[in-house]
Structure formats: structure tokens, C-alpha cells
Amino acid sequence: MRYVLGRLGQAAAVLLAAFTVAFILLQAMPGDAIMIKFENPELGLSPDQIAALRQAYGADTPLPAQYLHSLLGFLGGDFGYSIQSGTPVRQLLAEVVPGTLILAALGFVSAVILAVGITILANLPGLRRIADVFRSLPSLFVAVPVFWLGIVLIQVFSFQLRLIPVINPGPIEGLILPVLTLAVPISAPIAQILIRSVDDVLGYPFVAVVRARGADPWWILWRNVARNAVLPAFTMAGVLFGELIGGAVVTETVFGRAGVGRLTADAVTQQDTPILLAIVLLSATAFVVINLVVDLLYPVLDPRLGPRRRARVAAPRERKVVSV
């Protein structure tokens, strides 16, 4: 329990640090959102008019006061307003977060399924001859640009085969291609690590022992190897979250989906500070939570990482516990 509380405290510190660093960095950038919006020559405003607007927006308030104001607002759940459009940031996030969560979650699950599938195919006793083909898939997947993949999928499945409309699709139809687009590059590192760990585990002496005792390859793969090999891949999954966000930016743009990715891309181009602060905090929270969950789940997957008592109880029953 103390461990969990400690981790929660750490998480809070990380979030505060993320907020502060983001605030400072955004202030340090040349120009600001008000300038981008109102000093845009296209509005044709005179210098006096621009000065009046700057004052109305409180752009001349000292920075520490602005920082404190934003921080207190965030603590109270008020993320302020988008400078570019004036929409409350909370409303913007509320509209896009569910869509992105679904996309990211399904993308991630599909990526895992894809990765596991590739790993199994690469190790299937019956498919040894073409195993190399499957083994090279992750390198190929990692090299495919998300942008290109999305457009190719649209061209083939929507425009040529006309199976799925890309404009105004149904809620489920609309997820198929984006999820696939997102899953392919995410699955690559997971598959790579899974294949590698399976190879490692297969080389361990205990596998030879099990084989010597007459277990068939399927039994070994499933019962002995899989559970050992999954741990490094699991760690990787926590780290991959960042890539998921990056992939979402492109995927959402190509497929015209509203989402955190596109909101971020637009806010970055416009230096829309309130939105960016909220997104930084949101991403940091997601990172912290995912890594916390991963850390807390380690002992469940691998008794060696749990409290000693459990490990000792578990050890005799689990043949796979072999020092690494």
C-alpha cells in the first residue's frame, strides 16, 4: 500500500513538473497566440486596434501571475479558452477525447493481436521454412509511414473496392481503417521484442529439459515460452503510448476524424497555449497512469518481481522461473 501511495505522490510531482516546463517553454517561443491571431495581416487591423485587443486579453499581465492563474484554474478543472477560436478548452477536450481513446485503445489491442499473431507464425513448428518472412515483417511495418499507409488503405478499400465509406461512415465502419493504420506501426516494436524474447527463452536449459521429457513443441511454446516472453513486450507497451499519440495525429488528419491528435496539431500551429497546456497535462497523466498500471501488473505476470513471500510460494510450482 505504501508503495502505491509513494507512486501516486511521484505521479503528482511529475504532472506539476510537466505543467511548469510546458508553461515556460510555450512562453519562451517567439510570438504568441494573440499575435498570431490578431497581427495576421489578413485581418487588416491597425496597430492601435491590436494594442487594445492585447490589453483586453491580459497579454501584458506579468508571467508569474499568469502562471499562478493557469495553475489554479487547472487544479479547479478550468482549462481556460482557446485563444484561436474562443471555445472552452474543456469543451474541446470533451468532444475529442472519447474518439481518440477508442481509436487508441482499439489500435493498441489490434497491434498486440497483430504482434502476437506474427510471433506465433514466426515460431510455428509447421512453418519453419517461411519463418523468416514473418520475422522480417516487423522491420517492414516500422518502415511504413503512417500517412502513406492511411492513404493507401483509403484508396484500396474505400475508393477502389468501395467496401467502407471514408466520408460520413457509421461509427464502426469509421474505425476499421484508422485502427488498422494505427495498429501496423505500433505492432512492429511489440512483435520484434516478442520474437526476440521467444528466441531467448527457447534457448534456456529448462526448455531443453521440458523437451527431453517429451513435451510437444506446441505445449512448450504456449505453456513455457509465452509467459516468460511477454514481460519485455509488456514494458515496451507502456513506452509505446507516445507513439500512439503521434500516430493518432496523422491518422486523424488523413481520415478527417476529430481527435486529440488533430487538436494538438492545430494548437501547435497556432501556439494556442491553453489547449497545449491541457494536452501536455492530459498526455502526462495518461503516461503516468499507464506506467503505473504496468508497474503494478509486473508482479502478477512474474512472481519474481512481487513481494518475496509470494515468490517463494509460487516458485516450486512454476517451472519457468529461471534466472535471467
Which residues contact other proteins by CB under 8 A? 29-32, 35-36, 38-47, 49, 52-53, 55-57, 81-82, 84-88, 91-92, 95-96, 151, 154-155, 158-159, 162, 165-168, 253-259, 262-263, 266, 268-271
Residue placing its CB nearer to other proteins in the complex, 45 or 305: 45
Residues 6 or more apart from 286 whose CB is under 8 A from it?
241
Residue placing its CB nearer to other proteins in the complex, 6 or 145: 145
Question: How far apart are CB 143 and other proteins at their closest, in Å?
Answer: 16
Residue placing its CB nearer to other proteins in the complex, 272 or 302: 272
Measured over the CA atoms of residue 291, residue 295, residue 298 and residue 300, the dihedral's sign is: negative
Q: What values do phi and psi take at 88, rounded to 5?
A: -60, 135
Residue placing its CB nearer to other proteins in the complex, 79 or 234: 79
Question: How far apart are CB 111 and other proteins at their closest, in Å?
Answer: 23
Question: How far apart are CB 79 and other proteins at their closest, in Å?
Answer: 13
Residues 6 or more apart from 135 whose CB is under 8 A from it?
122, 195
Cell 519457468 -> residue = 320
CB 269 within 8 A of CB 33: no
Question: How far apart are CB 178 and other proteins at their closest, in Å?
Answer: 12
Q: Which three cell numbers stand for residue 303?
A: 512472481
Full DSSP string of 98-118? HHHHHHHHHHHHHHHHHHHHH
Question: How far apart are CB 258 and other proteins at their closest, in Å?
Answer: 4
Residue placing its CB nearer to other proteins in the complex, 58 or 242: 58
What are the beta bridge partners of residue 88?
A: 81
Question: How far apart are CB 231 and other proteins at their closest, in Å?
Answer: 39
Question: How far apart are CB 78 and other proteins at their closest, in Å?
Answer: 13
Length of the chain counted residue by residue: 324
Upper half-sphere CA count for residue 285 (Cβ side, 13 Å): 7
Q: What values do phi and psi take at 59, rounded to 5?
A: -70, -15
Cell 487594445 -> residue = 52
Question: How far apart are CB 174 and other proteins at their closest, in Å?
Answer: 11
- CB atoms closer than 10 angstroms to residue 279: 24
Residue placing its CB nearer to other proteins in the complex, 278 or 288: 278
What are the beta bridge partners of residue 81?
A: 88
Residue placing its CB nearer to other proteins in the complex, 107 or 174: 174
Distance CA 137, CA 165 (A): 28
Residue placing its CB nearer to other proteins in the complex, 89 or 198: 89
CB 202 within 8 A of CB 280: no
